[in-house]
Amino acid sequence: MSLNTINFEFLQSLRTIIPYSVYRGVVSNGEITLIVPHTHIYDVLFFLQNHSSCQFKSLTDLCAVDYPEREQRFEVVYNLLSTTYNSRIRVKTSIEETSALDSVVSIYPSAGWMEREAWDIFGIFFLNNPDLRRLLTDYGFEGYPLRKDFPLSGYSEVRYDDSVKRVVCEPLELSQEFRSFDFDSPWEQRPVTALKESL
């Protein structure tokens, strides 16, 4: 029995156990991806960590992707590892710019800094995160630098001014109208051949 077949059967069992918490699931290249509504992300991750047939005890990564053309602009991706069963699973959810996503720090303590990073560079708010502060940018920084609509040159310029003998911060006066968004990603244009999907 191939790894894809085993994972597909495991995916089917997950969908029967937690049917209303999973929009859909995909098995591709031996990896399972669950697409979950943002209102159920906490419950699904809690289940995946604690159920005896899952045991995904380690959150290896939490990252975000910006799709400004979508209604639910941000996609948040959780990569989990089960050392008990030597397997991985990916859980994705989408959220609007003005909505909040439940923090999973109480399930995976390692999520604290990852959620702070997503907040800092994308502006995704994580409800009940105990320490949601800027992590990579300065406290007075305006905007979220990894959003696709953030100006390439930023909003301000920091330079050394020889006349006053100090570093000065000045607002930029460059026009940003030259930017045009091409929403075609080269990664999404490849043909998907070895993909099984449960509807």
pLDDT (tens digit, 9 = 90+) per residue, 53-70? 899 999 999 999 999 999
Tokens 């077949």, located at residue: 5
> pTM of this prediction?
0.77
CATH 3.30.460.80 fits 3-198, yes or no: yes
User: For residue 119, what are its two tokens?
Assistant: 């907040």
pLDDT at 49 (0 to 100): 95
Question: Measured between alpha carbons, how far is residue 50 from residues 54, 55, 93 in Å?
Answer: 7, 6, 20
Q: With cut-offs at 50, 70 and 90, classify the pLDDT of residue 39.
A: very high
Beta-strand pair 125-127/100-102: parallel
* Mean pLDDT on 41-63: 94
Strand, coil or helix: 184? coil
pLDDT at 194 (0 to 100): 46
Strand, coil or helix: 64? strand
* Mean pLDDT on 84-95: 94
Sign (positive or negative) of CA dihedral 37, 40, 42, 45 = negative
Quote the CA–CA distance of 119 and 190 in Å, as a whole number.
31
Q: With cut-offs at 50, 70 and 90, classify the pLDDT of residue 187.
A: low
> Are 59 and 49 within 8 A, CB to CB?
no
Strand, coil or helix: 41? helix
Report which residue type is found at 159. Answer: R
pLDDT > 70? residue 191: no
pLDDT at 61 (0 to 100): 96
* Mean pLDDT on 156-179: 75
Strand, coil or helix: 196? strand
pLDDT > 70? residue 122: yes
* Mean pLDDT on 99-114: 96
Q: With cut-offs at 50, 70 and 90, classify the pLDDT of residue 193.
A: very low
User: For residue 30, what are its two tokens?
Assistant: 């031996």
* Mean pLDDT on 110-137: 93
Quote the CA–CA distance of 26 and 13 in Å, as a whole number.
13
Among the listed ranges 104-108, 145-149, 171-175, 177-181, which one has the minimum average pLDDT value?
Answer: 177-181
Closest CA to 76 of 146, 20, 128, 19: 146
